[in-house]
């Protein structure tokens, strides 16, 4: 892994020295143990800040919006989907980007380790398990049980082929299908049960917009829900307004969601936001014969039609 990190740092440094980039979006070490945080580098001399982000790594794609162009970015597959989303939404141009793709075995979620990060001396990826080293000894946890939720339905852990630089590590995450069981559960409830359930969830929502701001599919310069005129969303935080917010955001993202789950990870009060987005993703796949609606396409599913689309209305 250290070797991969050195390769990455070299790639970043040489991108600057060759004049390919004016800035570089990457991960660096955070204040909190094992937390990776986003960083925007402005010169090759900062390359030693670059980390692989083996745990608690946020998605980086959206930082491209404000990064001085041409901008470099380090991506794993989930990030690559986010970047692709921004390119297809015409928010960044591919020719303004320098993409370094790294393969990824999955990102550890330290919240799933039953030990405080301050107690951990080292985290070691050992095949199918994570070894957690502390002063008192060593615990072994199954690899799948400690990953970020999004890693459990990874599109593919391998490095993206149309990057400018491709760095293959020793391990990569195997692709895994999306788990729709949470959606099924809601679909089997009665309408009143569903409404009561969502009321209970939305009552926790504090309308901080962390979900929207974290989402690579939400990149409008002025979000329609922020407008005062017309006022689609009242600033009053009442339950009916929460339905309006979450319905609208899920609908605007429908068909464009890349399944990264940053919305859910960013939510400070634990709303099951992917239960909303995945409902749209699955319906779109089922209704319109799409293989994996998370993969950005040149023409979005809801931006087109077929003359022989399913006909449910009469």
Q: Which residue has the tokens 């930082």?
A: 63
Contact present, 172 and 154 (Cβ < 8 Å): no
How far, in Å, CA of 11 to CA of 16, rounded? 9
Contact present, 36 and 192 (Cβ < 8 Å): no
How far, in Å, CA of 256 to CA of 280, rounded? 10
How far, in Å, CA of 118 to CA of 35, rounded? 11
Which of 192, 229, 291, 298 binds other proteins (CB under 8 A)? It is 192
Which of 35, 131, 141, 166 binds other proteins (CB under 8 A)? It is 35
Contacts of 48 (CB under 8 A, 6+ apart): 9
> If binding means CB under 8 A, how many residues of this protein chain bind other proteins?
81
Q: Find the part of the chain contacting other proteins (CB under 8 A) among 10-18, 128-136, 172-180, 237-245.
A: 237-245
Q: Find the part of the chain contacting other proteins (CB under 8 A) among 76-84, 124-132, 171-179, 190-198.
A: 190-198
Strand order in the sheet with 71-75: 36-41, 23-29, 71-75, 97-102, 165-167
34 makes contact with other proteins (CB under 8 A): no
Number of Cβ atoms within 10 Å of the Cβ of 304: 12
Per-residue binding letters, 86-115, with other proteins (x by CB under 8 A): ------------------------------
Per-residue binding letters, 52-91, with other proteins (x by CB under 8 A): ------x---xx----------------------------
DSSP 45-107: GGGGG-B---BSPPP-GGGGTTSPSSEEEEE-HHHHHHHHHHHHTTSS-GGGEEEEEE--S--
Q: Which residue has the tokens 């070894």?
A: 131
31 makes contact with other proteins (CB under 8 A): yes
Which of 6, 112, 200, 289 binds other proteins (CB under 8 A)? It is 200
Which of 3, 162, 184, 187 binds other proteins (CB under 8 A)? It is 187
Per-residue binding letters, 122-161, with other proteins (x by CB under 8 A): ----------------------------------------
Q: What are the phi and psi torsion angles at 99 (to 5°)?
A: -100, 125
Contact present, 35 and 84 (Cβ < 8 Å): no
Q: Find the part of the chain contacting other proteins (CB under 8 A) among 3-11, 76-84, 147-155, 235-243.
A: 235-243
Task: Name the residue nearer to other proteins (CB basis): 62 or 76.
Answer: 62
CB of 140 to other proteins, least distance (A): 22
244 makes contact with other proteins (CB under 8 A): yes
307 makes contact with other proteins (CB under 8 A): yes
Q: What share of the chain is helix, strand, coil (3-state, %, to 5)?
A: 40, 15, 45
DSSP-derived 3-state class of residue 199: helix
Per-residue binding letters, 204-233, with other proteins (x by CB under 8 A): x-xxxxx-xxx-----------x-----x-
Task: Name the residue nearer to other proteins (CB basis): 269 or 295.
Answer: 269
Per-residue binding letters, 262-291, with other proteins (x by CB under 8 A): x--xx-xxx-x---x--xx--xx--xx---
- What would the two tokens of residue 221 be? 């310069």
Element of type H or E holding 143: none
């Amino acid at each position: 892994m250290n070797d991969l990190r050195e390769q990455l740092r070299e790639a970043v440094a040489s991108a600057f020295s060759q004049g390919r980039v004016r800035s570089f979006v990457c991960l660096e070490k955070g204040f909190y143990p094992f937390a990776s945080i986003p960083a925007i580098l402005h010169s090759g001399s900062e390359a030693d800040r670059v980390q692989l982000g083996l745990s608690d790594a946020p998605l980086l794609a959206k930082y491209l919006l404000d990064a001085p162009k041409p901008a470099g970015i380090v991506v794993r597959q989930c990030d690559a989907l986010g970047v692709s989303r921004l390119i297809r939404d015409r928010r960044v141009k591919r020719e303004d980007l320098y993409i370094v793709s790294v393969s990824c075995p999955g990102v550890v979620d330290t919240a799933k380790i039953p030990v405080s990060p301050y107690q951990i001396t080292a985290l070691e990826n050992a095949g199918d398990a994570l070894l957690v080293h502390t002063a008192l000894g060593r615990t072994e946890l199954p690899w799948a049980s400690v990953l970020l939720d999004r890693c459990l339905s990874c599109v593919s852990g391998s490095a993206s082929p149309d990057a400018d630089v491709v760095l293959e590590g020793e391990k990569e995450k195997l692709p895994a299908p999306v788990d729709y069981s949470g959606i099924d559960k809601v679909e089997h409830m009665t309408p009143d049960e569903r409404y009561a359930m969502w009321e209970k969830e939305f009552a926790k929502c504090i309308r901080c917009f962390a979900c929207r701001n974290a989402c690579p599919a939400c990149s409008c310069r002025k979000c329609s829900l922020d407008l005062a005129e017309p006022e689609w969303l009242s600033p009053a935080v009442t339950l009916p307004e929460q339905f309006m917010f979450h319905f609208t955001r899920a609908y605007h993202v429908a068909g464009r969601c890349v399944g990264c789950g940053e919305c859910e990870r960013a939510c400070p009060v634990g709303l099951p936001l992917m239960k909303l987005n995945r409902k749209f993703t699955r319906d779109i796949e089922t209704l319109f014969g799409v293989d994996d609606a998370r993969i950005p396409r040149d023409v979005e599913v809801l931006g087109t039609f077929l003359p022989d689309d399913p006909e449910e209305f009469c």
